[in-house]
Amino acid sequence: MKLQRILIADDDTKLVALLTSSLQKSGYATLEALDGEAALERAKNEKPDLILADITMPKIDGFKLCKLIRENPDTADIPFIFLTAKGELTDRVAGLNLGADDYISKPFHISEVTARIKSVLQRTTLFVSPVEEEGESDLKGNLEQMSLADIMQTLGMNKKTGGLKIIHQSRVGKIFFDAGNIVQASLGKYKSEEAVYRILTWDAGYFEFDSTDRADHIVITTSTNSLLMEGFRQKDEYVKYQQTLPAFDTIVKLTEIEHTDEMKSAAQKIIVLIDGQRTIQEIINLSPINYLLTVKLLYTLLKKGVIAALETRTEPEMQAEDYGQLAQELYE
């Protein structure tokens, strides 16, 4: 069996040597380039299976290298991972906008690099495999194996058209793609971008992409990368609030009813959902406004003593293997 070849582009010779040794031990063949210009030539001439490139390199930096790789029809489909000391969200978004498949920040553990390479190569292989029989799903699995951001980026990169169905506990979301662009989304009563942002918070569940399932009309015109950028921003902030709030399966109740009618409209929309029976998560799920704003308002109401946390409601955990059966039941 022919070994998959990884092009390592970095001007740090010690790092290149470390990556070369580690990747070869993991069963890959490696190519090396110490600047962006050399990396571009090797990519054109030797067509590696994946490019692993630093951003800060002599002659041609990683961003320009990625752009040139994507613009050339002969190299456009080569998976590209940025490996860099820059870990800011703006740098990550810049890389994704150029068509990168993943972004790994230094310092890193070598096992993380090999795992991310394996994941990207598996995603790519899924879309270059022979066409399945009519009526079968193009791609399906658990979110524990492949994150939603990875799935969406992969569908966008491969310019796929069809419907992505995602199941999280008993909730079902749909995101429709047209030539790699997200054009429609739904999650219960939520439509358009808000549905996408809420679905992006799910780290567990079951997904299935069907190329025969098409959107009936275009609702979303924002680019996929822009949606992901805003989705990442909201999720990052959401996670920070999640870490400071009580567990989301905690029931909350109103403790101060006076003056609530004087609050802003957004806050009143949340207060009417607080009945002493619902958990924080249920309130977020039912909220008619943006989910991140809902969490911010709940945080503020708790801090001001307008609401208080009661007992935690513990629900039985769903095993990963149950998602397939649940998916089948929900689809029927």
Instruction: Please determine, for residue 49, whether its predicted confidence score (pLDDT) is greater than 70.
Output: yes
- Token look-up 């292989």 returns 125
How confident is the model at residue 88, as a pLDDT? 56
Average pLDDT, the chain: 81
Which runs of consecutive H residues, i.e. helices, occur in the chain? 13-25, 36-46, 62-71, 89-97, 110-126, 148-157, 192-199, 224-244, 265-271, 280-286, 291-303, 322-331
The pLDDT > 70 percentage for the chain reads 82
Q: For residues 136-163, give the mean pLDDT.
A: 78
Instruction: Please determine, for residue 126, whether its predicted confidence score (pLDDT) is greater than 60.
Output: no
The pLDDT > 90 percentage for the chain reads 36
- Token look-up 């970095």 returns 10
pLDDT tens track for 187-200: 999 989 999 999 99
How confident is the model at residue 50, as a pLDDT? 93
DSSP-derived 3-state class of residue 182 = strand
DSSP-derived 3-state class of residue 186 = strand
Answer for the pair 157, 101: CB distance below 8 angstroms, yes or no: yes
pLDDT tens track for 128-146: 444 444 444 457 778 877 7
Q: For residues 305-331, give the mean pLDDT.
A: 53
Ranking 86-100, 198-212, 283-297 by mean pLDDT, the lowest is 86-100
Q: Which two tokens stand for residue 158?
A: 């491969």
In the chain, the domains with their CATH numbers are 5-126 (3.40.50.2300), 139-233+322-331 (no CATH), 250-312 (no CATH)
Answer for the pair 281, 309: CB distance below 8 angstroms, yes or no: no
CA angle, 205 as apex, 200 and 211 as ends, to 5°? Answer: 75
